[in-house]
Amino acid sequence: MQTLRSIALPSPSRCAIYTRKSFQPPLGQEITSLESQRAICSSYILSQQHKGWTEIDNRYEDCGISGASLDRPGLRSLVADIENGLVEIVIVYKLDRISRTLLDFVRLMDFFERYGVVFVAITQNFDTSDSMGRLIRNVLLTFAQFEREIASDRMRDKRMVMKRNGLWVGGQAPLGYDFRRRKLVPNAIEAPIVRRIFESYVATGRVSDVHRDLIAHDCRRKVWRTGRGTIQGGGPIAQTSLHHILRNPVYIGMVIHKGEQFAGIHQPIIDRELWARAQHILKEREQFKPRRPDHVLTGILFDCHGRRMYARQYWRGGRSEGARYYQSPIKSGPLGERIRRTNARADQLERIVLEALKMLLGDQSRVRPVLMQANVFGSTLEDLCNGSPAAALRIERMSVPQLSSALKSLLSRIEVADDHVRIVARAHALAKFIGWDGVGYFKLTELELARATRMHVIVIPVETLIRRRRVEWLPVETPRSGGDRDPSLVSLVAQARRAQDALYNERDKPVADIARLFSQRVGSFSRLVRLNYLAPDIVSAIVDGTQPSTLTRQQLLKCEIPLDWELQRRLLGFRPRRRTA
């Protein structure tokens, strides 16, 4: 009797098809090149059924997006599914569909190899399952990048020649002009607005006055029609746009290319004399314009209502007034009520974020579970834990631009509430930052940011964090070095004792009359009396001159003094006391 032998079928391999097209298809076109790529790839998968290949239902496609970078929604979705173990084979119609940059492609291939994913380009007859396929892949990608760079060089040279000949190379025409027949033509309605801007600026010398004049006369921005037929523009002219208009040499018949000006073929709107007077005023005002301070938390800071907080600096007469702030816009609630803006002192928020990061990296027992969230184990985990204190010291030595770049990669967001600060850090970014050598700028790529999905949350509770107008001193556990005796602090403490004695001895008088004896208002007098609630060791340190060097008279007066002595020490920068059992 003949026995039947069981045939071992290959295990199924889940295949994902990725398609990309650089330009959007025309409206009404049903079959695009994306569908063609998918149909061809699907047919190829059917031909490999003997290997156990099966196509998954998820669609990974990017339409109208260039392959020069990895910041693509479809590619990010594919990367996420690979990390979740849903994809084993990635199939594309052609190699340049997934990337046109050699460096990005190498990163993708390294990512595929770490997760055991096979990459196949069907029209170029290779896959990465063998060494020959990997060799052909690298050679073809090199030529794909060379082709892209040659096309970019040709377009760049063409734009340069056109600008040197005074031609407009395309794009939205500036206010005052229309683009017709490859030439700028003055707009009969907008050209007088441009002349009014220059004349008003020469007469007043202030952009804010020009902006108010435009609003009073209902002058509007340019109105244009997009490629899809929608109408955009037509709103009020923003004050920030006026600086660009006043510096744009296109209004005197010039075309600029890489800082050089060439005579254009279009008709000027502004005469040379008016242009020269406006530029002279701009140059004079730039000499007194202060340098804008750097706000390292811009872009990642939010308040408790989810509103993004922006940097704000108050200037008056070319000098700064007060401190730097982070401020959120006014928002309407679900019931129509107006939620007031949140103001936060920039120096205090930046200090609490940096101290929290340094405390996390400096404590190996705290940083170890964070690194394990980033899938770091074994000897690599031990090396990173040993190097984390050095990474904490590296934060102190970084310049402001380096620190700003590093924080935007290390932190996903920072939320400021009334009683706490919530810092959301990327575990993968922290692991990479510890192993970073500190040279240049620390920054994650688009692919690395997409992969950094594991977060570590740091919650810092505080008693008084946000007033709707300002943020008071934040409790940060940071030891300070001692300083010399400050006579202003000593006299402030003595004055607080005299104020308390006056309140006790003159109980029959109103507080306003007692405050008038000290030549102060009621609010200032109340803050002065609160200094009597300071812990005895804080008062002794001020009298002995061993207080932190950063403690000033103004900080003592503005600080909300809590009744908890330990919290007072943290607020004012003193070293916290150890509790004995």
Which pLDDT score, from 0 to 100, does residue 434 have?
Answer: 93
pLDDT score at 469: 45
The residue ranges of the chain whose pLDDT is under 50 are 1-9, 27-28, 30, 317-318, 320, 465, 467-483, 578-581
d(Cα 520, Cα 525) in Å, to the nearest integer? 6
Which helix (H) or strand (E) segment is 365 a member of? helix 364-373
Backbone dihedral angles phi then psi of residue 352, each to the nearest 5 degrees: -70, -35
- Give the per-residue pLDDT at 514: 84
Would you state the pLDDT for residue 332? 62
Whole-angstrom Cα distance, residue 421 to residue 465? Answer: 8
pLDDT at 258: 76
Which domains can be identified in the chain, with CATH numbers? 13-149 (3.40.50.1390), 177-287 (3.90.1750.20), 301-461 (no CATH), 487-571 (no CATH)
Strands 260-263 and 301-303: unpaired
> Structure tokens of 536?
């005895």
Confirm whether pTM is higher than 0.85.
no
pLDDT at 351: 87
- Torsion, Cα of 118, 119, 122, 123 (10° steps): -150
Q: Which two tokens stand for residue 281?
A: 């005023």
**C-beta of residue 493 within 8 angstroms of C-beta of residue 529:** no
CA pair distance 199, 202, nearest whole angstrom: 5
Q: Residue 11 has which token pair? A: 């295990």
Burial of 14 (0-12, 13-18, 19+ CB in 10 A): middle
> In 487-564, which residue ranges form alpha helices assigned H by DSSP?
487-505, 511-517, 522-530, 536-544, 553-558
Q: How far is 563 from 168, CA to CA, in rounded Å?
A: 69
Closest CA to 535 of 517, 513, 512, 562: 562
| pLDDT for residue 25 | 58
User: How many residues are listed for the chain in this entry?
Assistant: 581
The secondary structure of residue 61, as a DSSP letter, is: E
What pLDDT does 227 receive?
66
What are the φ and ψ backbone dihedral angles of 455, each rounded to 5 degrees?
-115, 150
Map tokens 């097209």 to a residue.
21
pLDDT of amino acid 580: 39
pLDDT at position 218: 86
Alpha helices (runs of H) in 223-301, residue ranges in sequence order: 239-247, 272-287
Which ranges of 48-130 would DSSP assign to H, the alpha helix? 73-83, 102-114
